[in-house]
Structure 1
Amino acid sequence: MSLSRPPLSGYSRRMPELLLPAVLGGVILLYFAIPFVAFLSRTGISNVVAGLSTPEAQVAIRNSLLTAPISTAIATVFGVPLAYVLARTSFVGKRLVEALVVLPLIIPPVVGGAMLLTAVGRFTPIGAAAAAVGISLTDSLLGVILAQTFVAAPFVIITARAGFGAIDERLEQASRSLGYGPLSTFWNVSIPMARGAIVAGIVLTFARAIGEFGATMMVAYNPRTMPTRIWVDFIAGGIDAIVPLGLALLAITLVVLAAVQRLGRVPTVVDE
């Protein structure tokens, strides 16, 4: 009596064709993991609690936790309506607007900071006018917020736009047919239906803002935020000196990552 081979499952049939992609993907995952493991292995060398208890570290943490939420709020209030406009309308110059939204993501942050200085620096018309009324747009917490907003706002715009684009427009039309105006429909129909994408964008914006270094260093090297304090500590004492603040920033990033994963897949830029 001959024995017939049991049928292969779909997973087993795909194993040979997935082997090479899995190996290649494993290499890049290993490359991602090694720096984390190496950095975390140094936590025993540094007194983390003592490092986070210094006045300099406390000020940096306070400044970051103060400015990043404000930057995120500004990006959300102005960025979400722009995302809706980009998702729902076509107009002359739309491609230019889209390019302006993406531009802060693709230019080096240091260059973005230099661009901000040419716009709001103390010797520019805007910077001089602000200084005349006692407002400093650079080397201040306001300067930090300007830098963070510039580099982080595109995240909420892009993700919110993808969320709005996924909404069936007929639902908005039905709201309008029931007598609700554009603003009421936007607030009561569009926003709730795109809530997941909007919240994901807000979380990513916050993560980008709190970790911003390049543009902040150019616009407001003082007062220190966590990233700029890490740079100062690294110059003074090397890797071991930055472990406490680095761990604090990493912990915030992991919380953000958990929040994004809980919200589900984060949308990317959606072409029309």
Structure 2
Amino acid sequence: MSRIDRSHDGTANAEAASDGPSASGLGGGGGLERLPGGLAMLVLLGAVLLAYFIVPFAAFLLRTRGVDVAATLSEPAVQDAIVTSLVTAPVATAIATVFGVPLAYVLSRASFRGKRLIEAAVLLPLVVPPIVGGVMLLTVVGRYTPIGSAAAALGVSLTGSRAGVILAQTFVAAPFLVVTARAGFDSVDPRLEEAARTMGYGRLRTVRLVSLPLARNAIAAGIVLTFVRAIGEFGATMMVAYSPRTMPIQLRVSFIARGIDAIVPIALVLLAIAVIVVVAVQLLVGTPRRY
């Protein structure tokens, strides 16, 4: 190799050595200078949205320092709202689970005419405004509808009652269970089910012993998400059952009557539930691994 070639190779190797640590984030400098070219801009753009998420939480928590949380939470109306939400949301979640998991499995495994329409029907409550969902429910279970009248004749009111709250919560929250559970069933290798069938297992036994255990994390995450969506439901519940009040409805009533300080304690309860749900979902689903 000539002297010129050796000189050229040495320069290239020196440049590669100087660029390598910077690109990998192992070399000198710190912060964004250590990121590969172009990635720093993506980090900055993402940081803007992340700050938009974090700053309101921080400002809200600072606001709580001047509020008598215990006094507000001891008010009968607030306690009734908390009890109503904590009673109705689990019931709505249980209903969504009992009926949603089978529907999710059918949508994952079966092929039939009209499947696209059923999938669209499942997604419909997710895309329509909740208040519109409440209006649609009223056209079915309202006091003067056939179903509502029949229920009233039996002594069960489907509006203005906890039953109405559960109906509204189930309508808006159940799709989260179906969508999440279906994703879990989609991730199960059908060959495992086929192997179980060749061993003499029936369809239901295969689902119980193979499909459900393998999809349990996704189903559990769907249950948690359904619960938090139900407990935070406002629009549809307001239309179907304004009373008894749930926490979101009581929050709105308190805000109109006494301003933002009056709703801080209720918001803290909802925030605590949300934090617990986020942690639960992270533990159940985890963070995707990089290979």
TM range (shorter): over 0.9
Shift of the 266–172 alpha-carbon distance from structure 1 to 2, 3 Å rule, reads farther
Query: Counterparts of 1:7 and 1:237 in 2: how far apart (Å)?
Result: 60
Residue 106 of structure 1 pairs with residue 110 of structure 2: no
Asked if structure 2 preserves the Cα contact closer than 8 Å seen for 1:159 and 1:266, the reply is: no
Instruction: Please name the residue that 1:213 is paired with.
Output: 234
**Over the residues paired in the alignment, what is the CA RMSD in angstroms?**
1.8
TM-score, normalised relative to structure 1: 0.94
Instruction: Please name the residue that 1:11 is paired with.
Output: 24
Structure 1 residue 40 displacement after superposition: 1.2
TM-score, normalised relative to structure 2: 0.88
Instruction: Please name the residue that 2:138 is paired with.
Output: 117
Query: Counterparts of 1:152 and 1:39 in 2: how far apart (Å)?
Result: 26
Residue aligned with 2:171, SS: helix
1:28-67 residue CA offsets vs partner (Å, 9 max, x unmatched): 1111112111211110121111111111111111111100
Equivalent runs, 1:72-91 vs 2, <5 Å: 72-91=93-112
Query: Counterparts of 1:16 and 1:113 in 2: how far apart (Å)?
Result: 50
Query: Counterparts of 1:101 and 1:266 in 2: how far apart (Å)?
Result: 27
Query: Counterparts of 1:78 and 1:70 in 2: how far apart (Å)?
Result: 12
Query: Counterparts of 2:39 and 2:91 in 1: how far apart (Å)?
Result: 45
Greater CA radius of gyration, 1 or 2? 2
Greater mean deviation of Cα atoms: 53-62 or 197-206: 53-62
Residue 42 of structure 1 pairs with residue 63 of structure 2: yes
Asked if structure 2 preserves the Cα contact closer than 8 Å seen for 1:83 and 1:160, the reply is: yes
Shift of the 26–7 alpha-carbon distance from structure 1 to 2, 3 Å rule, reads closer
Instruction: Please name the residue that 1:270 is paired with.
Output: none
Q: Aligned pairs, how many?
A: 267
Asked if structure 2 preserves the Cα contact closer than 8 Å seen for 1:80 and 1:157, the reply is: yes
Instruction: Please name the residue that 2:244 is paired with.
Output: 223
Paired residue type of 2:282: Q
Residue aligned with 1:23, SS: helix
Structure 1 residue 7 displacement after superposition: 5.8
Asked if structure 2 preserves the Cα contact closer than 8 Å seen for 1:139 and 1:219, the reply is: yes
Greater mean deviation of Cα atoms: 210-219 or 7-16: 7-16
Q: Percent of counterpart pairs with the same letter?
A: 62
Residue 130 of structure 1 pairs with residue 143 of structure 2: no
